[in-house]
Structure formats: structure tokens, C-alpha cells
Structure 1
Amino acid sequence: MEQKNICDKLFSEGAIVPAVRTVDDFKFALNIKSSSIILLFGDIIILPSIIQEAKKHNKRILVHLDLLGGIGKDRSGIRYLARIGVTGAITTKPQLVKFAREEGMIVIQRLFVMDSEALKSGINLLRNCRPDAVEILPASVPKSIIEELVKETNLPILAGGLMHTMEDIELAIQNGVHAVSTSKRELWK
């Protein structure tokens, strides 16, 4: 399946995707229009019940692997997540991208774009690990950088980090990102 179509399955173009840090945030996000929720917390104990609750509300769960407790950051840990119903994974670790893809999960490589060298090495990383999409941080990256990432990787871009207002989100969308993730509840409209 084409990568843009994969991302459209998770979040429509221009979408605001809730990135939840607590159980209370998760419960709040269940009633938001977004079809997906990004988990920035959790562990092996609570994850099955979170996934079960999300399914009741027709929500897909994307887990930030680097922030998940009690699950090995290896092939077996990824296999477990896929089997309990995690739709997708976000990670900064390229080896986890490979494992998650092998398990049929949708994978988003998180990339910190701090300077030109980070952009250059990030493009090489994305070409080698081949995720379904990339999440750039911060979301305020200039339009020219987003255009270069799309041109060089042909991947849909999700942007996250430092989104404080609706104007911040609108600017990121205008700059060419596919969708924006944010942990600020007041922006989840």
C-alpha cells in the first residue's frame, strides 16, 4: 500500500492527532474526532486495557516505543505489541522500524531536525530504514526543510513538538506536513 494511503488510514490530511501522556488524557482523547491516538506513556500492564478501550471507540493506537515500559525494545517486544492490537509504532530507533514493519505494524520514524547536519543524516536514516512516515520535531521546521524531506524521501510528514496555538498548527499544515501531533488538549478540536 502506498505510504500516503497508509497515513490517511491513521489520520486524514490536515488532522490534529492527540498525543496522550496520561490515562486522563487518553480518556479525554477517546471522545475527540481523530481516528488515532498516540500513546506517549504506558507499560505492559496497562496497555492491553487501553487497546481494548480504544477499540470500543473505534480508535487506532500508535505507541511511542521509546517511552513504553516493561516491553523489550527488540523483535519479541514488537511481536507482542502487534499481537495485542497495536496499530502502529513511533520510534527514534531504526532497528525497531524494521521489526515493526515485519509484524505488519505501521511505523513512523521520529526525527529531530535541529540543524542542516541533522537533516542530512535524517534523510539517510529514512532511506535506509524505510518507515511508512516520518514525524519531525519541532513542528515549526521551515517549509523549505519539509519540502526537502518530502522530495528526498517521498514520505508523509507528521509534525510534533512546540505546538502552542491553532496558528502554530495551521502554519505547520501550510508548510506541507500531512498532520500534526500534540499533547495539548485544547488543540485537539
Structure 2
Amino acid sequence: MSLADFSSRIESNPVIAGIKGEEALEKALSSECEAVFILKSTIMNVGELVKKIKAEGKMAFVHVDLLEGVSSKEIILHYLQETTEADGIISSKAPMVKQAKNYGFITIHRFFLMDSMSYHSIDKQILNSNPDFIEICPGGMTKTIGWVKEKIDIPIIASGLVCDKEDVVAALGKGAIGVSSTNTDVWQL
């Protein structure tokens, strides 16, 4: 699937299912969510998880930093390209995001905004990674989403501590194009 397809799907349904296991996967597959972020997997099961997600017509993104059994080296991108049909990757590491584009993945650069230093370093990291999207954590702190939106011209996905409809509406209202949550109740919004 293409970057334009992902953008279109998120525009029509901005809630993204974040999964950490089989039970969550089954709920995500039966939800209206158009995309699934695989937040916890292993080298042994990531291919099967992606396969199940794709079989339901949903887009699959693998968080490569949280993929157990691999190093944080570029070889994991080659492995995912060769053995799965993943649409994209998520990483908090600028070099990994940059290299993933060479493998044809849609890229999401994840940022944890914990203080002003992390906020002020976004520009430099984005110059290095050139991501398609950025993911801001925690997504429940919507004031920071507004700050980043004013500073950066890259679509934002809010993630982390997105617990209810109020959080979703607030994040979207501050400029996020989508929200990712592991809370299955949020997937039904």
C-alpha cells in the first residue's frame, strides 16, 4: 500500500489500533481501524501477525525498536521487506527511519516529548530521518501536539495515554491526523 493510501485511510478513520499480543490482534482485526501498529512482536511471529492484518485488508506497521530477537541494525529492514508484507515501520531512531525509506516502507518517526530538550531536538532529528509521519508520545498531552504542529510540517500521529473519546477529539483538534491507542475501547470510536 502506498503513502497516499495510508493518508487517505487515516483521514477517513483516524483511530489506529496498537497491539501487544494475540488477544489485542483479534480485537483489532474485527474493529473498524484501517491500520494496526504492531508494538510487541518477535522475529518468530512478526510475519504471521502481518499476514493476519493484511488478510483483513488493513495496513500493518511494525515497531522495529520493540521487535524482539533482532538488533537495531538495518538488516531488520531487509528481513521485514523479504519475509513480510508490512506497509511501514515505526522507530524512535532517526537512522532506522531514514534507511527504511530505501526499502520502500512508509516511515513513522516516534518521539517521546518529556521535556523542552526533547521538544527542541525534533527539527534536527527530522532533518536526519525525513519521515513520512511523526508520532508524538504521550498523545494525551495535546498542548505539545499543537506546539509540534506549529513547528513541523509533517503529519502527526498522537500516541500514548490516549484513553477515551475526549483524548481523541482533543488530539485531532490540536492538529494530529490520527491517534494510536492500545485501548480497545478507543478503537470503537
Whether TM-score is above 0.5 comes out as yes
The residue that corresponds to 2:61 in the other structure is: 62
**Is the aligned partner of 1:118 residue 2:122?**
no
Specify the code of the residue in structure 2 equivalent to 1:16: V
**Equivalent pairs: percent with the same residue?**
26
**Is the aligned partner of 1:155 residue 2:146?**
no
TM-score norm. by structure 2 comes to: 0.90
Specify the code of the residue in structure 2 equivalent to 1:175: K
Contact 2:90 2:109 in 1 (8 A): yes
With over 3 angstroms needed to count, the CA separation of the structure-2 counterparts of 1:60 and 1:14, relative to structure 1, is closer
With over 3 angstroms needed to count, the CA separation of the structure-2 counterparts of 1:128 and 1:6, relative to structure 1, is farther
Deviation (angstroms), 1:167: 0.7
The residue that corresponds to 1:107 in the other structure is: 107
Contact 2:145 2:171 in 1 (8 A): no
The residue that corresponds to 1:133 in the other structure is: 133
With over 3 angstroms needed to count, the CA separation of the structure-2 counterparts of 1:7 and 1:150, relative to structure 1, is farther
TM-score norm. by structure 1 comes to: 0.90
The residue that corresponds to 1:185 in the other structure is: 184
Report the Cα distance in structure 2 between the residues aligned to 1:110 and 1:164, rounded to whole angstroms: 19
Contact 2:54 2:85 in 1 (8 A): no
5+ unaligned residues in a row in structure 1: which ranges?
Answer: none
Report the Cα distance in structure 1 between the residues aligned to 2:157 and 2:40, rounded to whole angstroms: 19
The residue that corresponds to 2:166 in the other structure is: 167
Cα deviation, 1:168-189, whole Å, max 9, x if unaligned, reads 1111111111100000011101
Report the Cα distance in structure 2 between the residues aligned to 1:114 and 1:51, rounded to whole angstroms: 31
With over 3 angstroms needed to count, the CA separation of the structure-2 counterparts of 1:134 and 1:57, relative to structure 1, is same
Secondary structure at 1:98 match in 2: helix
